[in-house]
């Protein structure tokens, strides 16, 4: 029947507010929800044949849900519901290598522009699906979801592909991107720890097994325990934004070896805090490789100074002092026969440089 003279309202089910109101040939906007202003239109060319269709332009995530179409004609009333499932498939995921952790590299998969909140899955080299170690979701000003999924990727034997899949279950659609660990893209480090002295400069060696030109690659040197950036080089440029503060002005990628696949890092003015493991990571598009370098920092301190300080327990208390050691040194006493004796007490102090001073007491 002709609906042009009826009272027609479209309302939201949960909030019970007006989306659009039409009555006797006129659109009434006084009670319209603010978020629908300028976005709704009753399709007039169908009214004469009893169609009450509502057009909503520029769908938003907030439009998701149930709508109720109500019709009143004098004392007569009718209604029907329409469920609207709004969805959006977001961007192709972007993978970034962010830290060395738990024997592998923490890889973050980021994608934006999804609705509803998507699921993030990982595929291992065998194609088996793995859950993320953690997932974070953020809603932007439009109500769309940005997502970040994290996994710890262990370096395999080569020719392996790890994939991140972001899936919209409502649309049954997904976006996928992969990271390849290629047997032709292996990174090699030294087979033994580097032993260096406090105050010296050191070059951490690392190279590509194929010796290919590395000047266009993404090269990162990071700390194993701290999982933070020591030095970042990308496409011919050193990037310092994420560098650890304690390495500021102290690191340099040795440029003259890059064309031959050498990724060596020079660190100047070695400190005790530089002791530990470093990881050299290389990314070329979707290919990735890594190698570790162990650095053992040491310092030999001053010649011990002996002082006789007090008469005690039938003997003389002798104090042995020395400064500037790393790591914390061991102190032994020898009696006149050359036998080792334990100390009565030991005290160790770390100075502002991280070097150890010691005060050791014994009774003679």
Go through the domains of the chain in sequence order and give each one's CATH number: 7-84 (2.60.40.10), 94-181 (2.60.40.10), 187-298 (2.60.40.10), 305-363 (2.60.40.10)
Q: How confident is the model at residue 184 (pLDDT cuts 50, 70, 90)?
A: low
Q: Which of 63-72, 201-210, 355-364 has the lowest mean pLDDT?
A: 355-364
pLDDT of residue 176: 93
Q: Which residues contact 179 (CB under 8 A, 6 or more apart)?
A: 95, 107, 153, 161, 162, 163, 164, 286, 287, 288
Q: How confident is the model at residue 170 (pLDDT cuts 50, 70, 90)?
A: very high
pLDDT of residue 120: 92
* Average pLDDT of the residues in 51-79: 94
pLDDT of residue 285: 72
Bigger pLDDT: 55 vs 358: 55
Burial bucket for residue 315 (CB in 10 Å: 0-12, 13-18, 19+) = exposed
Which of these, 351, 297, 296, 345, lies nearest to 323 by C-alpha position?
A: 351
Q: Which residues contact 197 (CB under 8 A, 6 or more apart)?
A: 270, 297, 298, 299, 300
Let me know: does 187 contact 206? Beta carbons within 8 Å: yes
Burial bucket for residue 176 (CB in 10 Å: 0-12, 13-18, 19+) = middle
Four-point Cα dihedral 228, 234, 238, 242, nearest 10? -30
Determine what percent of the chain is predicted with pLDDT higher than 90: 53
pTM: 0.61
Which of these, 99, 49, 325, lies nearest to 232 by C-alpha position?
A: 99
pLDDT of residue 107: 84
Let me know: does 10 contact 18? Beta carbons within 8 Å: yes
pLDDT tens-digit readout, 70-128: 999 988 999 999 999 999 999 999 887 766 666 667 788 999 999 999 999 998 888 88
How many Å apart are CA 155 and CA 288, to the nearest integer? 9
pLDDT of residue 227: 66
Tokens at 288, concatenated: 């990735």
The chain-wide mean pLDDT, for the chain, equals 87
Determine what percent of the chain is predicted with pLDDT higher than 70: 91
Tokens at 274, concatenated: 């530089």
Q: How confident is the model at residue 56 (pLDDT cuts 50, 70, 90)?
A: very high
pLDDT of residue 90: 94
Q: How confident is the model at residue 335 (pLDDT cuts 50, 70, 90)?
A: confident
Q: Cis peptide before 327, with omega less than 30 degrees from 0?
A: yes
* Average pLDDT of the residues in 335-355: 79
pLDDT of residue 89: 95
* Average pLDDT of the residues in 117-140: 87
DSSP annotation of 58 reads S
Q: Which of 44-58, 177-191, 204-218, 259-273 has the lowest mean pLDDT?
A: 177-191
pLDDT of residue 353: 86
**3-class SS of residue 255:** helix
């Amino acid at each position: 029947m002709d609906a042009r003279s009826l009272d027609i309202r479209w309302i939201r089910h949960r909030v019970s507010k007006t989306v659009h109101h039409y009555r006797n040939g006129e659109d009434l906007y006084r009670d319209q929800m603010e978020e629908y202003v300028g976005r709704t239109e009753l399709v007039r060319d169908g009214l004469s044949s009893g169609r009450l269709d509502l057009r909503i332009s520029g769908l938003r995530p907030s439009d998701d849900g149930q709508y109720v179409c109500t019709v009143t004609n004098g004392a007569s009333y009718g209604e029907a519901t329409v469920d609207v499932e709004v969805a959006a498939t977001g961007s192709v995921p972007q993978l970034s290598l962010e830290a060395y952790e738990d024997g592998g590299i923490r890889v973050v998969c980021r994608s934006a522009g999804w609705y509803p909140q998507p699921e993030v899955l990982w595929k291992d080299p065998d194609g088996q699906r793995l859950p993320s170690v953690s997932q974070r979701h953020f809603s932007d000003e439009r109500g769309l979801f940005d997502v970040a999924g994290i996994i710890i990727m262990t370096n395999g034997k080569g020719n392996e592909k790890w994939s991140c899949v972001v899936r919209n279950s409502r649309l049954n659609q997904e976006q996928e991107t992969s990271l390849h660990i290629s047997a032709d893209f292996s990174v090699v480090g030294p087979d033994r720890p580097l032993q260096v002295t406090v105050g010296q400069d050191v070059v951490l060696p690392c190279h590509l097994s194929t010796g290919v030109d590395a000047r266009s690659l993404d090269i990162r040197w990071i700390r194993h325990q701290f999982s933070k950036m020591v030095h970042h080089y990308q496409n011919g440029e050193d990037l310092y934004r994420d560098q650890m503060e304690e390495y500021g002005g102290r690191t340099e990628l040795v440029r003259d070896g890059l064309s031959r696949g050498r990724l060596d890092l020079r660190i100047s003015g070695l400190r005790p805090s530089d002791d530990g493991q470093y990881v050299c990571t290389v990314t070329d598009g979707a290919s990735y490789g890594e190698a570790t370098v162990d650095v053992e920092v040491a310092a030999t301190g001053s010649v011990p100074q002996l002082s006789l300080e007090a008469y005690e327990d039938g003997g003389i208390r002798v104090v042995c002092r020395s400064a500037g050691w790393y790591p914390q040194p061991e102190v032994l006493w020898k009696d006149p026969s050359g036998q080792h004796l334990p100390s009565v007490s030991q005290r160790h102090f770390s100075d502002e440089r991280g070097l150890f001073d010691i005060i050791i007491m014994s009774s003679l």
